[in-house]
Structures are given as C-alpha cells and as structure tokens.
Amino acid sequence: MNRREFLRTSVCAAAFAAVSGGAGYLVTRKSTCDGKRPCDQCPQAGDCADDKALSWRAAQPAAWQIDPYKCIQCGKCATTCVLKQSASRCFHAFAVCGYCDLCTGFFEPQPNQLNTAAENQLCPTGAIVRTYVEDPYFQYKIDRDKCIGCSKCVKGCTQFGNGSLFLQIDQNICVKCNQCSIAINCPSRAVRKVPIATPYLLKSKTRTS
Ligand code: SF4
Ligand code: SF4
Ligand code: SF4
C-alpha cells in the first residue's frame, strides 16, 4: 500500500466509524417523552430531539382550553369564537365559592337592592341563577345554554370575591378548529391545546399558586 492509498483508507475508516457511531446512538437513544403532557408544557420544550415523541405527540387529538389562572377577563371570548354564541362559557367551582349574599359575580357594583331584578344583575343574559340556601348563604348556578362567555361575572368574582367563577371552552359545543380563533385573539395567551382525554382546566380549592 503506498502513502496515498494508506491515507484514503484511513479517512474512509474514520468516516465509517463516525457514521456508524452516530447511527448507533440514534438506535439506542431512549425516548425521554413521558407522554403525560403537551409539548408546550414539557420542561424540555424547544430542546426535544426525539422525532418519535414529537410525531407521536403531533398525532394525538387535542382540545383547546382556557387556563383560568391566565385569563384576564378581557371580554374577547364572547366575540372572537367562530361560533355565533361562543363556545367559551362560565363554569363554577362550588368548592371555592363563598356562597355570599353580596356576590360580586352576580350583582352590579352598586345594586339598588340585593334581589334578582334584572337591573341589579351583572350578567347580560340572566344566565346566573341565585338560590337561597340558609341565612346568610346563597347558591349561584350557571345556565350554560344562556351564557355568552362575556366574562363580566368572572371579572367581578375574581376581583372582589373568591374567584370561583371562571371561563372554559365547553367541549360539547366547540367544533375544535385547527387553530382556535379565541387563542389567536386572547391578549394573555390563556388558551392552549390540552389532551382530549382531560379537556378541562378546572379551578380547585387545593391550588396554592
Ligand atoms: S380572550 Fe383570553 S383573556 Fe380574554 S376572556 Fe377569553 S380567555 Fe380570558
Ligand atoms: S356574565 Fe357573561 S360569562 Fe358570566 S354567566 Fe353571564 S354571559 Fe356567562
Ligand atoms: S376551537 Fe373554534 S369553536 Fe372552539 S372555542 Fe376556539 S374558535 Fe370557538
């Protein structure tokens, strides 16, 4: 073997070793995806080189949902959904509610009286049903068929009450657009994709942050 042939053989051997080593790494590399959360919530988001995990994730059916802790009650939910009556509706966490007589999610800021007369209510469609429980407690239930997702009650409850009223995209109504129009227009980026198996982001008493 002359000097030129020796060099050519050495370079080829080195190249082969590099390629086969890389291929070996690809074959033996384990998936780091635990499959428990969407990519945008993964601590490795943006740094994932796991093509298998990414394509598996992309193929999973997903639902659009509002993070109630990010929502700033801007009112756009009522007008930016592609549906005539928005799929965003008010939900109520009874475990969080104070059952207040003077409910700041139900009453106008300065009501004439604490009764159910339309002029005293915040809700433009009368979707909140107030029922006497026992002195001094009242229960509030949302008639979601009437709710237009305007967020007025949510704002009142969040600013001055316990925050038990919050918006969610009702999965029985949402037509699951490829790109949610509310998500595009939401100023606080509160709308994101969640797994279809757990499509709600509900409020609970146990949350501490
Ligand atoms: S558009 Fe976003 S911030 Fe505004 S009410 Fe809807 S979820 Fe909340
Ligand atoms: S105030 Fe708006 S968000 Fe609240 S129940 Fe009425 S329509 Fe729904
Ligand atoms: S996915 Fe479409 S139908 Fe559902 S809330 Fe968003 S805009 Fe409305």
Give the Cα separation of 112 and 122 in Å (integer).
12
Q: What is the pLDDT of residues 96-134, one digit of tens each?
A: 999 999 999 999 999 998 999 999 999 999 999 999 999
**Contact between residue 173 and residue 182 where contact means Cβ atoms under 8 Å apart:** no
- pLDDT for residue 96: 96
Residue closest via CA to ligand 1's atom 2 equals 186
Number of H-type helices and E-type strands within the chain:
5, 6
Average pLDDT over residues 158-178: 97
**CA distance readout (Å), 54 to 4, 38, 42, 63:** 46, 10, 12, 17
Q: Which residues contact 110 (CB under 8 A, 6 or more apart)?
A: none
Residue closest via CA to ligand 2's atom 6 equals 123
Average pLDDT over residues 177-197: 96
By mean pLDDT, which of 24-33, 44-53, 121-130, 152-161 is the weakest? 24-33
The DSSP call for residue 45 is: T
**Contact between residue 68 and residue 186 where contact means Cβ atoms under 8 Å apart:** no
By mean pLDDT, which of 15-29, 76-90, 108-122, 145-159 is the weakest? 15-29
Between these two residues, 4 and 103, which has the higher pLDDT value?
Answer: 103
Find the residues whose C-beta lies inside 6 A of ligand 1. 66, 71-77, 88, 151, 167, 182, 186-188, 190-191
- pLDDT for residue 59: 72
Between these two residues, 58 and 118, which has the higher pLDDT value?
Answer: 118
Question: Which domains are delineated in the chain?
Answer: 3-59 (no CATH), 64-195 (3.30.70)
User: Radius of gyration over alpha carbons of the chain, in Å?
Assistant: 27
Q: Is 157 exposed, middle or buried (0-12, 13-18, 19+ CB in 10 A)?
A: buried
- pLDDT for residue 12: 42
Q: Which atom belonging to ligand 2 lies closest to the Cα atom of 150?
A: 2
Average pLDDT over residues 129-152: 97
**Contact between residue 72 and residue 187 where contact means Cβ atoms under 8 Å apart:** yes
As given in the structure block, the two tokens for residue 51 are 């093509």
Ligand nearest to the CA of 64: 3
Q: In one letter, which amino acid is 143? A: D
- pLDDT for residue 16: 42
pTM of the model: 0.76
Residue closest via CA to ligand 2's atom 4 equals 153
Nearest to 131, CA basis, from 142, 122, 120: 142
Give me ligand 2 centre to Cα 168, in Å. Answer: 12
Q: Which atom belonging to ligand 1 lies closest to the Cα atom of 75?
A: 5
Q: Which helix (H) or strand (E) covers residue 8, if one does?
A: helix 3-28
Nearest to 191, CA basis, from 88, 102, 97, 114: 88
